[in-house]
């Protein structure tokens, strides 16, 4: 599998953190895009907060801006970078199949400010934040070679969704299509007079059905959405929920491709 990692990222010079974003969009042959990198989200929040610090005052910036963010990142992180979602929608609109993944990018790096040391993004915190949930063609059985093929196939095909687990467990989410044939995320479904798309969220949320960047259907504070599509294209789902007093991105599905 080949995925373009943390495609839109800012550098944070005051913290000696370079920009590791992806810049060459003229390539081909990749399977998908990392639409949400938890570490990148925090770096981007740091960059935004530190951009107003005069003269790059290291200690002032770290104490007044960086420490609050790295101490409680979920207060500041609201979802994937809009630029990433925009680029994904642009690629999908060209007819390309572009699968999405999300990643914690866990490093458990230790940072020091004077006598204060803190582990930024401990492993447990990361692994309970942004995750990719996959739907395999058959059950895993513990055999490494067998399971590896199933997992990689699900990732390549986009039979998965990206979930932010802090607002609530995303297990049980489903996005399906039905017409003359049936499909799940990553599948092609024929667009005919009886075609429908169905969304089932594990809890109440603001559910949006999106085609090439345009919201074509949405419901608020519901667990289900059903839509009768009239145009071909790549349809994906976003679910948003309130968390820590602010709407947060919760679930980002891979597309169903209506042909």
Contact, 193 vs 226, CB < 8 A? no
10-residue mean pLDDT series, the chain (259 residues): 90 76 90 95 86 63 77 91 97 97 88 75 89 97 97 98 97 97 97 95 99 98 98 98 96 98
pLDDT score for 58: 62
Rounded Cα distance between 201 and 174, Å, is 7
**What pLDDT score does 110 carry?**
82
* Domain ranges (residues) in the chain: 3-258
DSSP letter, residue 126: H
User: Residue 157: what pLDDT?
Assistant: 97
Tell me which residue of 174, 58, 77 sits closest to 126, measured CA to CA.
77
């Amino acid at each position: 599998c080949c995925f373009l990692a943390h495609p839109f990222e800012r550098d944070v010079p005051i913290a000696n953190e370079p920009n590791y974003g992806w810049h060459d969009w003229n390539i081909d042959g990749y399977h998908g895009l990392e639409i949400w990198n938890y570490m990148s989200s925090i770096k981007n929040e740091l960059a935004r907060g530190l951009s107003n610090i005069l003269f790059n005052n290291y200690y002032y910036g770290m104490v007044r801006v960086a420490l609050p963010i790295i101490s409680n990142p979920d207060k500041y992180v609201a979802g994937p970078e809009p630029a990433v979602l925009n680029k994904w929608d642009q690629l999908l609109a060209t007819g390309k199949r572009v699968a999405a993944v999300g990643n914690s990018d866990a490093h458990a790096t230790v940072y020091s400010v004077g006598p204060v040391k803190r582990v930024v993004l401990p492993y447990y915190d990361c692994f309970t934040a942004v995750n990719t949930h996959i739907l395999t063609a058959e059950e895993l059985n513990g055999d490494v070679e067998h399971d590896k093929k199933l997992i990689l196939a699900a990732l390549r095909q986009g039979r998965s969704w990206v979930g932010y687990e802090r607002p609530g467990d995303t297990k049980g989410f489903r996005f399906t299509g039905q017409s003359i044939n049936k499909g799940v995320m990553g599948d092609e479904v024929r667009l005919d007079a009886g075609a429908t798309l169905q969304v089932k969220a594990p809890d109440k949320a603001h559910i949006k059905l999106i085609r090439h960047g345009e919201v074509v259907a949405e419901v608020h504070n519901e667990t289900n959405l059903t839509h009768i599509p009239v145009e071909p294209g790549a349809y994906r789902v976003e679910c948003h929920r309130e968390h820590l007093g602010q709407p947060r991105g919760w679930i980002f599905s891979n597309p169903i491709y209506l042909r």
